[in-house]
């Protein structure tokens, strides 16, 4: 019987029975017997619990949340300077070049007198925006194609061939080519990276789909006449959530990495648009000069925090989402 009924019965017996009454038959409620014990386990709640129990992940989550929040709030704060404005010395009217961090310029200024603090946050905004857009594209296109690739049998052959061709072209070459043809701009950057980044997600999703597509519950759905699109969305994708989240989490630092790389080889965003890539690029020229190293260190710290955080958070979440780890 359900626990409630059993306890009730037990209490009534314990309270007031003499020895011979104990050996009488107890009431048996058949309906209650059906309410057997079942657990009160929730998948997402357990996932969250396991995730949070990892101290490092919890800390990084707070850190990155704060960083992101600050990045977007920063322009609204008082006394913020524009990232592109060149600041001149009030008296000499010369540009305040390469000023080390002080009270007015918290991160100092760069070689043409722009406020590094404002540039770092503006650059972070830009880079993150690119990364998030690419991440979303990757998710939507990668998952859709991957699921169809894995589930619809006659698509497997053709898409695999396409994949083989695309995958064999080094991503760097595609990026360089696109940027060269379309001329550097934010749109070009996003377009170029999106062109090839969906492939990995698609393959991931396709492999997992193949593993689960012949499980009995999917066969059952077919017997019930469920159309392919609903099988994908309701039967397959919920199982892939942890993998999908991991891939998206890892794609953000990866995109920023590409952006930095492209800037290194001169195909990044125009200098007028501050981005982490630009900042790193400008800063690296000064690495040998100890008094001006700060121009590299600050953007480097920001990139490192973002990369490490997303990487660790993605992995910890993916582990937490695996029901086998739910203790």
Partner 1 sequence: MDKKKEVLLEVKNLRVEFGKRKKRFVAVDDVSFHIYRGETFGLVGESGSGKTTIGRAIIRLNETAGGEIIFDGKKINGKIDKELDKEITRRIQMIFQDPMASLNERAKVEYIVSEGLYNLKNYKTDEERKDKVEKAMLDVGLLPEFLSRFPHEFSGGQRQRIGVARSIVMEPELIIADEPISALDVSIRAQVLNLMADLQRKKGLTYLFIAHDLSVVRFITDRVAVIYKGKIVELAETERLYRNPLHPYTRSLFSAIPIPDPRKERAKKLEVYDPSCHHDYDKDPPKWVEIEPEHFILANERELEEYRKMLAKNGVQAIG
Partner 2 sequence: MEDKKVILSVKDLVIKFRLRGDILTAIREASLDLYEGESLAIVGESGSGKSVFTKSFMGLLDANGWIDSGSIMFEGEDLAKFKTEKEWLKIRGKKIAMVFQDPMTSLNPLKTVGKQVQEAIELHQDIKGDEAKDLTIQILQDVGIHDPERRYNQYPHEFSGGMRQRVVIAIAVACNPRILICDEPTTALDVTIQAQILELLKGLKDKYNLTTIYITHDLGVVANVADRIAVMYAGDIIEIGKCEEVFYNPQHPYTWALLSSLPQLGVKGQDLFTIKGTPPNLFYEIKGDAFAPRNPRALKIDFVKRPPYFQVSPTHKAKTWLLDPRAPKVEPPESIRILRQQWEVGNNG
**Contacting residues toward partner 2, per CB under 8 A:** 1, 3, 5-6, 9-10, 13-14, 17, 19-26, 28, 30, 33-34, 36-37, 39, 41, 46, 49, 326-327
Cβ distance to partner 2 smaller for residue 4 or 75: 4
286 touches 296 (CB < 8 A): yes
Record the tokens describing residue 84, joined without a space.
Answer: 């592109």
Q: Does 221 bind partner 1 (CB under 8 A)?
A: yes
Residues numbered 233-272 forming contacts with partner 1, rule: CB under 8 A: 234-235, 238-239
In the Cβ-directed half-sphere of 277, how many Cα atoms lie within 13 Å? 30
CA 25 to CA 21: how far, in whole Å? 9
* Binds 22: which of partner 1, partner 2, none (CB < 5-8 Å by kind): partner 2
CA 93 to CA 87: how far, in whole Å? 9
| Cα 131 to the center of its chain, rounded Å | 10
Which positions ≥6 away from 188 have C-beta within 8 Å? 178, 179, 182
Out of 74, 84, 226, 307, the only residue in the binding site for partner 1 (CB under 8 A) is 226
Q: Does 38 bind partner 1 (CB under 8 A)?
A: yes
Q: Does 290 bind partner 1 (CB under 8 A)?
A: no
| 238 membership: H or E segment, kind and range | helix 237-264
* Binds 301: which of partner 1, partner 2, none (CB < 5-8 Å by kind): none
Q: Does 30 bind partner 1 (CB under 8 A)?
A: no
Residues numbered 43-82 forming contacts with partner 1, rule: CB under 8 A: 43
Shortest separation between residue 4's beta carbon and partner 1, angstroms: 14
Specify whether the backbone of 93 is left (phi greater than 0), alpha (psi in -120 to 50) or beta: left
Cβ distance to partner 2 smaller for residue 6 or 65: 6
Cβ distance to partner 1 smaller for residue 61 or 143: 143
Look at residue 115 and give its three-state secondary structure: strand
Token look-up 């800063």 returns 283
Q: Does 92 bind partner 1 (CB under 8 A)?
A: no
* Binds 216: which of partner 1, partner 2, none (CB < 5-8 Å by kind): partner 1
Binding residues for partner 1, total number by CB under 8 A: 24
Cβ distance to partner 1 smaller for residue 80 or 242: 242
Cβ distance to partner 2 smaller for residue 22 or 94: 22
Record the tokens describing residue 279, joined without a space.
Answer: 């900042």
First to last CA, the chain: 27
Q: Give the number of residues written for the chain.
A: 327
CA-nearest of 139, 321, 315, 191 to 147 is: 139
Cβ distance to partner 2 smaller for residue 23 or 217: 23
Out of 94, 181, 223, 327, the only residue in the binding site for partner 1 (CB under 8 A) is 223
**What phi and psi values does residue 293 have, to the nearest 5 degrees?**
-60, -25
Shortest separation between residue 312's beta carbon and partner 2, angstroms: 24
168 touches 109 (CB < 8 A): no
Q: Which residues are near partner 1 by CB under 8 A?
A: 34-36, 38-41, 43, 215-217, 219-227, 234-235, 238-239
């Amino acid at each position: 019987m359900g626990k409630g009924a059993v306890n009730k019965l037990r209490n009534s017996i314990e309270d007031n029975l003499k020895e011979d009454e104990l050996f009488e038959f107890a009431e048996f409620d058949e309906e209650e017997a059906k309410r057997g014990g079942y657990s009160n386990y929730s998948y997402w709640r357990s996932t969250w619990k396991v995730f949070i129990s990892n101290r490092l992940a919890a800390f990084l989550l707070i850190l990155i949340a704060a960083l992101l929040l600050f990045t977007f709030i920063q322009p609204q704060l008082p006394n913020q300077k524009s990232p592109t404005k060149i600041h001149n010395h009030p008296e000499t009217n010369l540009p305040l070049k390469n000023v080390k961090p002080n009270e007015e310029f918290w991160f100092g200024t760069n070689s043409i007198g722009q406020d590094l603090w404002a540039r770092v946050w503006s650059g972070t905004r830009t880079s993150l925006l690119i990364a998030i857009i690419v991440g979303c594209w990757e998710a939507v296109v990668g998952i859709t194609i991957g699921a169809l690739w894995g589930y619809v049998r006659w698509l497997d052959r053709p898409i695999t061939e396409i994949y083989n061709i695309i995958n064999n072209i080094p991503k760097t070459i595609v990026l360089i080519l696109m940027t060269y043809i379309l001329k550097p701009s934010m749109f070009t950057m996003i377009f170029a990276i999106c062109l090839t980044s969906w492939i990995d997600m698609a393959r991931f999703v396709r492999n997992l789909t193949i593993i689960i597509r012949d499980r009995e519950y999917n066969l059952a759905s077919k017997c019930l006449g469920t159309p392919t699109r609903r099988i994908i969305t309701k039967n397959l994708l919920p199982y892939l959530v942890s993998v999908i989240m991991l891939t998206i989490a890892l794609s953000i630092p990866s995109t920023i990495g590409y952006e930095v790389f492209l800037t290194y080889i001169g195909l990044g965003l125009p200098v007028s648009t501050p981005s982490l890539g630009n900042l790193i690029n400008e800063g690296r020229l000064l690495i040998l000069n100890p008094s001006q190293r700060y121009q590299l260190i600050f953007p480097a710290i920001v990139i490192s925090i973002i990369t490490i955080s997303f990487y660790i958070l993605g992995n910890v979440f993916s582990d937490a989402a695996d029901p086998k780890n739910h203790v």
